[in-house]
Structure 1
Amino acid sequence: MTRANTTPKPHSGPVRACPAKRRPPFDAAGAAAAAAARLPRPMPVAVRENARAKNVVLRLIPGQGLVVTTPVGLPPARLAEAVGARSAWIAATWDRLAAEGSPPQPGAIAARPGKIVLTAFDRQWEVAYAARDRDGCLLTARGPQSLLVSGAVDDMAAVAGALTTFCRDRGGELLKEALARVSRETGLSYAGATIRAQRTRWGSCTARGRISLNFTLAFLPWELCRLVLVHELCHTRELNHSARFWALVEEHVPGCRALDAKLASARHYLPGWLAAAD
């Protein structure tokens, strides 16, 4: 019986590579419209893709609106579903902001700030802008309470990036000083501290007692910032959220449970321009 020859014959013609499929450009306006259709209240919506994002993150910002950060390539339908699933939280937060006199207003999501305020430490800087023919933005200090952002100042992402770097550096210094001070006050020691830009956590603590703090804590009222510092310091004794852990937190922060409930929705204290740096 003869056997068929299955050896491929040489090909003398040119080999053409299959063109790679390109992902269509991100339609921010369409994604925002799809998300807005699932909201319990009419409000301004901005949607931004972020290559580092693993989940959809929602921020309701006083005086501004709903800022949605989404992973790259997430279909608009799934984004809208994620927003719809948080409709109860959005409605409750909207109503609370309205009661406090600061409901989101249209057209202000990406405004350049005239002032940077690190509320926890009662520090603030006036911010001025100067357009220059260059890529990106450069931030320089013009005095102890004055900053100048120069460069592509009409590019909100570039502006926000420069301001974020400043706040991370300056806020990080203040947070490390505050952590050391609270450690002495409470008698709770730690092995070291780092400053990060965490997306879902205000802070964390390792089994070896190293504490990581989110630089955005500096934008919160001091009582909430201090609660996080104590919380993470208590994890150096109890690396869990057991009854013993909360009893330890209560020793140093009376009424900690009520404060912790406020902390769960404290992202409304973060300035709106932060979202533009995502």
Structure 2
Amino acid sequence: MLPTYTVRESLKAKHVSLKVSVAGSLEVVVPQGYDQTAIPAILQRKQRWINRVTQQVETRQALVGAEPADQLPGQLCLRAIEQDWQIAYCPTPLPGLRAVEQADLKLTLFGQTTDQNACTATLRQWVIAQAHKHLLPWLRTVSQEVELPFETASVRVQKTRWGSCSSRKTISLNCKLLFLPSELVRYVFIHELCHTVHLNHSAAFWSLVAHYEPAYQKLDAGLRDARYHVPLWMEA
């Protein structure tokens, strides 16, 4: 029996590729205009791979205690800044939703809390605000420490990248970094700051990274599974 899947056409795709998300859903990426009737046969051939990767996702979710994607979270663990917020939902007759920070790291959502999509959207906006508050000053501190200046920095909700750096020395940070251990976040900062000197992944670039972070290989490997620290509702 074939697994449930979604299809996405991509202008950049030159061949069919399969992607399993952190939530365990299967996406088939195809070139524009591709004959989608050929997809079932491809999935049949890749069945063992799909089963293996799906099992790995489920195992990693169990290890990090991932909450179901269809369930509103009761807590919000921002590992990067060592904050564990407890989330409460307070329904009110007023329209809309607002997130209010209270004492002892308690975050309360007031309003139409029966609307799950609205609640998760509000929580995501709160996380983005926290990223601006904590990640950008942290990046500036690391930049000064290693003496690698940048021009400007911004926070985005990126699907795959933890960060990026442009030729104009503009650094973009993924707000989901807040869910990662602090040592991985600092490594991302170092990585992107080194791109202000070498806008590539050449030997010279990695040599510069090693100069500022000797354990970069271990940290880089840690980033490969870092997405499992991010709660599923942030991936919507």
Aligned to 2:21: 59
Query: 1: CA distance between counterparts of 2:95 and 2:150?
Result: 42
Deviation at 1:149, TM superposition (A): 0.8
Identity rate of aligned residues, in percent?
Answer: 30
Please identify, of 234-243 and 181-190, the stretch whose mean Cα deviation from structure 2 is larger.
181-190
Aligned to 1:16: none
Please identify, of 227-236 and 75-84, the stretch whose mean Cα deviation from structure 2 is larger.
75-84
Q: Of Structure 1 and Structure 2, which has the larger fraction of its residues in helix? A: 2
In the TM superposition, 1:105-120 aligns within 5 A as 108-120=68-80
Aligned to 2:4: 34
Larger Rg, first or second structure (1 or 2) = 1
Deviation at 1:115, TM superposition (A): 1.4
Give the one of 68, 90, 95 matched to 2:53: 90
Task: After superposition, give the CA deviation of every residue in 1:75-118 in whole Å (9 maximum; x if it has no partner).
Answer: 798599689586377257348628x745878xx33221111121
SS at 1:182 equivalent: helix
Give the aligned residue type for 1:150: F
In the TM superposition, 1:223-242 aligns within 5 A as 223-242=183-202
Deviation at 1:59, TM superposition (A): 2.9
In the TM superposition, 1:1-278 aligns within 5 A as 34-35=4-5, 58-60=20-22, 65-67=23-25, 87=50, 90-91=53-54, 93-94=56-57, 97=60, 101-102=63-64, 108-133=68-93, 135-143=95-103, 145-275=105-235, 278=236
Please identify, of 131-140 and 234-243, the stretch whose mean Cα deviation from structure 2 is larger.
131-140
Deviation at 1:154, TM superposition (A): 2.6
SS at 1:66 equivalent: coil
Query: 1: CA distance between counterparts of 2:92 and 2:38?
Result: 40
Q: Are 1:118 and 1:171, in contact at CA under 8 Å, matched by a contact in 2?
A: no
SS at 1:189 equivalent: coil
Task: After superposition, give the CA deviation of every residue in 1:163-193 in whole Å (9 maximum; x if it has no partner).
Answer: 0000111122211111011112211111110
Deviation at 1:140, TM superposition (A): 1.7
Please identify, of 137-146 and 74-83, the stretch whose mean Cα deviation from structure 2 is larger.
74-83
Task: After superposition, give the CA deviation of every residue in 1:170-227 in whole Å (9 maximum; x if it has no partner).
Answer: 1222111110111122111111101111112111111111101011011101111111
Give the aligned residue type for 2:191: H
Measured on the aligned residues, the alpha-carbon RMSD in Å equals 3.6
Q: Are 2:24 and 2:54, in contact at CA under 8 Å, matched by a contact in 1?
A: no
Give the aligned residue type for 1:158: A
Normalising by structure 1, what TM-score?
0.67
Q: Are 1:131 and 1:153, in contact at CA under 8 Å, matched by a contact in 2?
A: yes
Between the two proteins, the alignment pairs up a number of residues equal to 221
* Change in 2 beyond 3 A, CA 1:174/1:103: closer
Normalising by structure 2, what TM-score?
0.78
Q: Are 2:86 and 2:106, in contact at CA under 8 Å, matched by a contact in 1?
A: yes
Q: Are 2:85 and 2:105, in contact at CA under 8 Å, matched by a contact in 1?
A: yes
Deviation at 1:144, TM superposition (A): 5.7
* Change in 2 beyond 3 A, CA 1:228/1:249: same
Query: 1: CA distance between counterparts of 2:141 and 2:211?
Result: 17
Give the aligned residue type for 2:82: D
Give the aligned residue type for 2:24: L
* Change in 2 beyond 3 A, CA 1:92/1:103: farther
* Change in 2 beyond 3 A, CA 1:247/1:274: same
Structure 1: gaps of 5 or more residues: 1-31, 36-46
SS at 2:71 equivalent: coil
Structure 2: gaps of 5 or more residues: none
Query: 2: CA distance between counterparts of 1:80 and 1:274?
Result: 32
